[in-house]
Amino acid sequence: MNQLLKNCFINLAKTNQKALIPYVMAGDPRPDITIDVLHKLVRGGADIIELGIPFSDPMADGPVIQQAAERALQYNTNIIDVLSMVAEFRQINTRTPVVLMGYLNPVEVMGYRVFARKCREAGVNGVLLVDLPPEESADFVPAMQEQDIDIIYLIAPTTTKARIKKIIKNASGYLYYVSLKGVTGAGHLDLKAVEKKLNQIRPLTDLPLAVGFGIKDPETAVAMQKIADGVVVGSVLVNEFKKHADEPDEVAAFVQDILYAMYVAMGKYYINYDVEE
C-alpha cells in the first residue's frame, strides 16, 4: 500500500474523521487553471484528490463529467499533460495523496510499465481505471506494485460476494464503492442500502471504504461519513465548471467553498494550508 495514502487514513482514524475526496477533471475548463484548482481543493479541506484523465468515451460517467472530458479534450489535454500537472502540484504539496481516475486505453497505449514509472516520478499515489477488471489486470498489477502505486477498484451495488473477494486480492489504497446503479451523477442515494452493502464488504477486507456517485451537498456528505471511511465528491463540483467555464477563477473559489462547507459539516478540523511544506 502506498505509504502516503495509508498514512492519510491512519491519521484520520486517530481522530475518528473520514476522508473527503473531491474529484475534478484535469484540464477542465482550461488546463492552465488545473494546478490552482488542486491547491484550492486542499485549502477547502480535501484529504485525497481524485484527478480525472480526459477520455473520449467515458462510459461510466454521466453527462456532467462527460462534458468535462470534452472541454478538456478541446485543449488536447492528454495523459502526459495530466502527469505533468501532478508533478507541478508536487512542487508545493507533497503530502496530499493524488489518485488518477480514468480509462484503460490511454494507459495501454503508453504501456503499463512506462505509465507506472511516470506515475511514481510525478508523485501519483493511486490509479483507478474504470474499465479494467481484475480478470484483465495480470500485467497491470505487477507494473503498478513495482512502483508502489495503489490499484483502486470499483465495487457496485450488484457486485456479488464472490466477486468482491476476487477484486480485493489485488486492490490497495482503498475500495471505491459506487453507491448508485448507473453513471456518475445519477439517481437518488439510498443510505440504508449503501450501509447494508458496506457491512457486507467490511468483513472481507481491511482496506478503507470510500463511497462516491451521489454525494451532492454537505448534508449527504455528513450522512455518508457516518458509514464510510471516505466520501467522494465529483459531479457537483464538475458541474460548476460547466456553468462558469469562462470564469475559471470564480469556479476554483467555488470549489474551495463547497468543499470547506462539507469539511466543516463533517466535523473536521480545518487548517488553511496556503503552502503545504
Active site residues: 50, 61
Q: Is 187 left (phi over 0), alpha (psi -120 to 50) or beta?
A: left
Closest of 277, 273, 276, 275 to residue 43, by C-alpha: 273
In this structure, which amino acid lies at residue 206? D
Residue with cell 516520478: 121
Distance CA 239, CA 185 (A): 10
Under 8 Å between Cβ of 201 and 164: yes
Under 8 Å between Cβ of 2 and 97: yes
Query: In 97-133, which positions are buried (b, 16+ CB within 10 angstroms) versus exposed (e)?
Result: bbbbbbbbebbeebebeebbebbbebbbbbbbbbebe
C-alpha cell at 12: 484520520
